[in-house]
């Protein structure tokens, strides 16, 4: 028997291997998974210890496709610039881009999900909680996570499509309802319509299939990694790193600044 002060060594149930096999949990990688299970299935079981239903699989797949790409965003620019500096290290470019999956870009489903959790936890007072949240953010002049977009107005087509998929698949639940409640209160607080953006919808549809807020950003990381590999593939075919560098340098280094720097001191 171990003494009370002794600590047990941590263990993992994710993977083990023998000389003849590799196991993901209790599943034999070769005998049970390869050619039989999809990437989404294995990811969900490894991460959440259960296989998704058909409806849940459709939602997860749609979320991953939605978050994979959105043009020359900060994450894509970072990936291209770092890859241009270190073309022998594809992973460095991807890692640089993933650092931009955070609280302002791409990863805002996490704080959005936390707000939806508050509304759901309020039960019959959910509408009042949504109003408190909207008024609080309005008073602080801050954007509500999951709302607003510089390009997609009046509505984000990605959000509309994701919520419709949830309705069609029967997974439209308490968090999707909470999102609608919050959207109504945000509009009222601002005095105009504010779009639900893609990450707001992602927070709702993932929350309704049991994904905790603290792990939702992982879906963005997983998805955007694939998109950043695509940016590197395009960078290999048609390099843009030097163009981006020159564009920024030219825009931020003015002729007046150069002349001031050359002017001798009095």
Predicted local confidence at residue 4, as pLDDT: 60
- At 8 the pLDDT is 86
**Residue partners of 264: CB distance under 8 A and separation at least 6:** none
Q: How far is C-alpha 112 from the geometric centre of its chain's CA atoms? A: 11
Token pair belonging to 179: 């999102």
Can you give the pLDDT at residue 152? 79
User: Closest by alpha carbon to 189, among 200, 178, 181, 177?
Assistant: 181
Q: For 94-119, what is each residue's pLDDT tens digit?
A: 999 999 988 777 778 999 999 999 99
CATH 3.40.50.2300 fits 53-241, yes or no: no
* Residue 64: Cβ-neighbour burial (10 angstroms; 0-12, 13-18, 19+): buried
224, 94 contact by CB (below 8 A): no
DSSP secondary structure letter of residue 156:
-
Model confidence, pTM? 0.88
pLDDT in tens, 223-239: 999 999 999 999 999 99
The rounded distance, in Å, linking the Cα atoms of 148 and 30 is 46
How much is the pLDDT for 192? Answer: 95
pLDDT of residue 19: 93
State the DSSP H helix or E strand holding residue 24, giving kind and residue range, or none if neither: strand 22-24
Q: Tens digits of per-residue pLDDT, 181-207?
A: 999 999 999 999 999 999 999 999 999
Locate the domains of the chain by residue range: 10-51, 53-241
What pLDDT does residue 153 have? Answer: 86
Smallest CA-to-CA distance from 199 within 214, 185, 219, 180 is with 219
Question: Which residues in the chain show pLDDT less than 70?
Answer: 1-6, 254-266
State the DSSP code for 33: I
**pLDDT score for 224:** 95
DSSP labels for 202-227? HHHHHHTTT--HHHHHHHHHHHHHHH
pLDDT attached to residue 5: 63
DSSP 8-state secondary structure symbol assigned to residue 10: P
Termini Cα distance of the chain: 83
pLDDT at residue 119 in the model:
97
pLDDT at residue 107, as a whole number: 73
Return the structure tokens found at 256: 């007046």
């Amino acid at each position: 028997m171990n003494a009370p002060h002794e600590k047990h060594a941590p263990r993992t149930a994710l993977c083990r291997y023998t000389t003849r096999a590799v196991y993901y949990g209790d599943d034999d990688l070769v005998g049970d998974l390869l050619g039989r299970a999809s990437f989404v299935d294995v990811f969900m079981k490894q991460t959440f210890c259960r296989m998704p239903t058909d409806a849940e699989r459709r939602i997860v797949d749609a979320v991953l496709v939605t978050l994979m790409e959105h043009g020359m965003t900060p994450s894509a620019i970072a990936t291209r610039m770092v890859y241009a500096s270190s073309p022998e290290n594809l992973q460095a470019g991807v890692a640089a881009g993933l650092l931009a999956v955070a609280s302002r870009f791409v990863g805002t489903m996490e704080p959005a999900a936390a707000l939806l959790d508050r509304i759901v936890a309020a039960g019959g007072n959910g509408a009042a909680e949504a109003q408190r949240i909207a008024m609080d953010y309005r008073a602080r002049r801050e954007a509500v996570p999951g709302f607003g977009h510089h390009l997609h107005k009046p509505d984000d087509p990605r959000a509309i499509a994701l919520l419709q998929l949830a309705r069609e698949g029967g997974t439209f639940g308490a968090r999707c309802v909470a999102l609608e409640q919050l959207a109504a209160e945000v509009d009222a607080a601002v005095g105009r319509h504010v779009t639900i953006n893609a990450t707001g919808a992602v927070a709702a549809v993932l929350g309704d299939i049991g994904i905790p807020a603290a792990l939702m950003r992982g879906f963005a990381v997983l998805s955007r990694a694939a998109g950043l590999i695509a940016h590197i593939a395009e960078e290999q075919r048609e390099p843009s790193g030097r163009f981006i560098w020159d564009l920024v340098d030219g825009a931020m280094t003015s002729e007046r600044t150069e002349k001031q720097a050359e002017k001798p001191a009095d």
